[in-house]
Amino acid sequence: MSGAGVESGMFWRILKKDLKRKKTMNLVFLAFMILCTLFLSSSAANIAATYNMLNYFLDVSRIPDQYYLASSDFEEEFDAWLASCPYAESYEKSVYVLPNKEDIMFNGEELQQNLAFLFFATPDCDYLLMFNENDKGVTSVTPGEMAMSANMAKNLGLKKGDILDIRSGSGMKSFRLTTLAKDAFFGKENMGVTRIFLSHQDYTDLLGNTPNKMLAWSVTASDSEKLHMDYSNQNIPVDLEVTRDSLSTLFTAEKISPSSLIIVAIAMMIIALVLLQFAIRFTIEEDFREIGVIKAIGIKNSDVRWMYIIKYLAISAVGAAIGLALSQPFGDFLIAPLKENMVMPESAFGLGKAHFYLGKVPVGLDMRPLCALGVVGLTLLSSWRVTRPIATMSAIQAIREGASGERFRPKGIIKLRGSQIKAVLFLAVNDILSGLRSFVPVFLALSLSMLMIILPANIASTLRSGESIKFGEVSKTDAYSNSLVGIRLAGIQGKTYPELKSALIDIEQEFFDKGILIEASAGIMISSRIYKDNQFSGATVLGYKHISENPEKPIDVTYFAGIAPKLANEIAITDVLMQKLDVLLGDTVLLDFGPEKKRYIITGQIQSIHYNGHKIIFSPLDEPDLLYAVHLPMVLIDFIDRNDIPGQIDTAREMFPQYNILTAEEIMRNQFGGDIDTLHSLVIFLFFVSLIIVCLVVFLVSHALLDKDKLAIVFLKSIGFTNGAIRSWQILRTMIVSTVGILLGIGLSFILNPLVTKLSFGAAGADKFTPQYDVLWTFIMYPALILMGILVTTIFASLGIGKISIRNTGRPESCPPSPNSSSVTARAAAKAPTSAATMNQKKGT
């Protein structure tokens, strides 16, 4: 009993001494445990909260199973079909006022509206509800006022209190923006549609004074897929068809943010476990003498292992508890932007829970404490694994100061003798090459941190890139104008191809009169149903028909296989359609234009994020019936003089301010502005998180290696090395390792970028979306700022070098020597011949 008490007392004394002796290492590990739990708990809960909130938002907004937007010319046909369709349980028909662009004025000028549609409606509807800032439904609007999505208002440059002047009959009527709303259906920039709620009186006045109107049908289906198939058998073209399932793909950025944070948390956990292994191995190697002694008096291997495990288990438990306590307010802070654009449940209880069913009973599982327990459990498993070498240590090794035999080969793999390399640089490089294991945490932290920054940054760069417009509605060119559409090419369904080409020639002449030489063209979207082997595929497609005075000029679209269609009976289709139809290049399909079906040969493969990837491209020689043209997005402007394109765009804007001339980058910014802003904020946040992670890792490793090198530093000082030279040695090796780690992370990003891009855009039908890079920030500024942080951290960690004197040969962290410290001299003698310091001494002699 007495012996057990002695062993227990020794156990806790050793543990207490170790906690004091490794204060820095323990504090850094505690910080990592707090951060790991904080990010893992909050991000896991936020993923559940995002999906729960999105589903709730769609439910309370009464999003229909199917939504159709069509011309009023087909009202009777649509009503008759829905009345007889067995899969349509109920539906609501809405009439939208579609004003001409020149009829909307803001601050005395034409509204710079960059979207496909802007229309007016009333809030007295059963579907597609809109909510105010307090999450209350917008059920009425005061005459003279209006309500619209906050996202769309921002995109149009409007704020609360602004006034729009709208032509009604022969006069203008003013409307004040009083409600910035949450709109699940029309509230996303990439939807391409702006809806404005007016009072019933104002709406009726506008409806009676404009011939332009659109009809929309919101349908609740007993079977959405069968409803779609039944519609596809009708001869009714639509401008827009949206399903509830496809609508959720518009919220990509909202899903990316919490998903990215959980990736950060996992990366931090990996780094923390590597640091844990580094810390335990470093401590065990330093405590070999104590381990040998306590094993010699009969303490079991498992008890010795638990001495180290309990310390880190306790640290991880404290860190997990602190991180868990902070995860709730931190998670609320991260999810706050979603609350601004989505309707929150009246009770937030269970929002951050993963929901599933146990039989028929719904169960909500809180993710936060589970993640905290997971962090502690991983720490325990890793600690048990890394303490296995304790079993091989013996009292004999303690007597021999840790040596198991004589070693006659030098430790380093490069030689200083005969080389021109400076001694300080040699010390740094030799330390890295001969002790790579010690720098693994730094390599890993830098590589993962760069990936955490680069991957979301490249998604944001891809979204706003002009190249990505090729995956949208139109082809790539110098500049675009949607205002010219309303002014010159309005009413495409009532026009012929010669009339459209004549209008484009008039545009070219107008620019020529101002001294600007351009080629004007237009891209029309034409709706059709697609068949294979005379069997309807169930897919309605939008075909891109490019109209130009010069049909021989190729359009700038990326073909991933095959070639562009050239003959009138050739088309290019997306790989989404190729998989759906089970066709290959060279196969034929049928396109249905009302009473006529036409056979086409597939010559090329494209990709598109437009219309869920159901897009085709017609040949320049083909002229499909314009009766089925549903949309003319914009006029494309191509400058004949290829010098100084940006300067010519600026000149055109000055000459024709009413045409709202845009670049491809500006169009993509308008379509994905909110998503890009969200991702940009995420990148900035991840940068600062990565900087903190890297600085903590570098400080811990630098501090540990400085303790390990104390005897070598004493020896270097004894042969004339200055504090500055020794500090340069410590800083150089850290900066070399950090630079290599950053380059490794950048290299890995080029491998992972296509995979991340595929995951991000694949659901929208473009898994080959070409990644674009912001070279300045992604590959220069962010790495440079991280290296600066590492440099400052390393300098701070190396300040202790000046306090080490030739007489200081005691134990690390200024602990007093133990009673048996006479072996220190022997240990120094054993280390000195293999140290880099001795090699410098040899060169000096």
Residues 6 or more apart in contact with residue 146 via CB below 8 angstroms: 164, 175, 176, 177, 178, 179, 196, 197, 198
Ramachandran class of 359: left when φ > 0, alpha when ψ lies in -120 to 50, beta otherwise: left
pLDDT(268) > 90? no
CA distance 302 to 156: 68
- Using the predicted structure, report yes or no on whether residue 494 has a pLDDT greater than 70: no
- Confidence check: pLDDT of 534 > 80: no
Mean pLDDT, residues 225-243:
77
Q: Which residue has the higher pLDDT, 405 or 842?
A: 405
Q: Measuring CA to CA, which residue among 334, 262, 255, 264 is closest to residue 675?
A: 255
CB 184 within 8 A of CB 57: yes
CB count within 10 Å of CB 728 equals 18
Helix axes 664-708, 301-341, angle to 10 degrees: 160
When pLDDT is averaged across residues 452-477 and rounded to a whole number, the result is 82
User: Residue 649: its pLDDT value, please?
Assistant: 94
Residue 182 parent element (H or E): strand 171-183
How high is the pLDDT of residue 423?
83
pLDDT value of position 742: 93
Q: What does the pLDDT average to over 565-579?
A: 91
Please answer whether residues 690 and 449 qualify as being in contact, where contact means their C-beta atoms are separated by less than 8 angstroms.
yes
The SS3 assignment for 554 reads coil
Where residue 647 falls among pLDDT bands split at 50, 70, 90? very high
Strand pairing class (109-110; 145-149): unpaired
Q: What is the pLDDT of residue 144?
A: 92
Q: Has residue 558 got a pLDDT over 70?
A: yes
pLDDT of 142-171, one tens digit each?
A: 999 999 988 788 777 788 999 988 877 667
Q: Which residues contact 117 (CB under 8 A, 6 or more apart)?
A: 98, 192, 193, 194, 214
Which residue(s) pair with 662 in the sheet? 480
- Cβ contacts of 267 within 8 Å, gap of 6 or more: 448, 449, 451, 452
**Tell me, what's the pLDDT at 735?**
93
Identify which has the larger pLDDT, 571 or 834.
571
pLDDT band for position 825 (cuts 50, 70, 90): very low
What is the Cα–Cα distance from 57 to 254, expressed in whole angstroms?
A: 13
Residues 614 and 540: beta-carbon distance below 8 Å: yes
Which residues sit opposite 164 in a β-bridge? 106, 175
Greater confidence, 609 or 840? 609
Residue whose structure tokens are 């809109």: 130
Q: Could you tell me the pLDDT band of residue 418, with boundaries at 50, 70 and 90?
A: low
pLDDT greater than 80 at residue 746: yes
Q: Is the pLDDT of residue 391 over 80?
A: no
Phi and psi torsions of 554, nearest 5°: -70, 150
Share of the chain above pLDDT 70, in %: 80
**Segment 24-64, tens digit of pLDDT:** 778 888 888 898 888 888 878 877 777 777 888 888 899 89
Rounded to whole angstroms, the Cα distance separating 28 from 21 reads 14
CA dihedral in degrees (418, 424, 425, 431; nearest 10)? 100
pLDDT at position 30: 87
* C-beta separation of 137 from 130 below 8 A: yes
562: helix, coil or strand?
strand
Of the two residues 300 and 145, the one the predictor is more confident about is 145
Residue range 588-599, pLDDT digits in tens: 999 987 667 889
**If 0-12 CB within 10 Å is exposed, 13-18 middle and 19+ buried, where does residue 137 land?**
middle
Could you tell me the CA-to-CA distances from 124 to 59, 342, 372, 565 in Å, in that order?
Answer: 18, 21, 48, 47
Q: So what's the pLDDT on residue 112?
A: 55
pTM: 0.71
pLDDT at 491: 61
Residue 834 has pLDDT above 50, yes or no: no
Q: Is the pLDDT of residue 501 over 60?
A: yes
Residues 570 and 618: their CA atoms lie apart, in Å, by 7
**Residue 126 scores a pLDDT above 70:** yes
Q: How far apart are the first and last CA of the chain?
A: 61
Note whether 803 and 797 are within 8 A (CB). no
**Listed residue (123, 250, 135) closest to 191, CA to CA:** 250
| Amino acid (one-letter) located at 285 | E
Give the pLDDT mean for 635-663: 91
CB crowding 414-451: b at 16 or more within 10 Å, else e? eebeeeeeebbebbbbbbbebeeebbbbbbbbbbbbbb
448 pLDDT higher than 90? no
Tell me: pLDDT of 519 over 90: yes
pLDDT for the residue 397: 59
Burial of 639: CB neighbours in 10 Å, binned 0-12, 13-18, 19+: buried
Q: What pLDDT band is residue 821 in, cutting at 50, 70 and 90?
A: very low
The yes-or-no verdict on residue 799 having pLDDT over 80 is yes
Residue 446 scores a pLDDT above 50: yes
Mean pLDDT computed over 5-19 = 63
Q: Which of 276-280, 369-373, 568-572, 723-727 is predicted most confidently? A: 568-572
User: In the chain, what's the furthest Cα-to-Cα distance?
Assistant: 107
DSSP collapsed to 3 states, 355-373:
EEEECCEEEEEEHHHHHHH
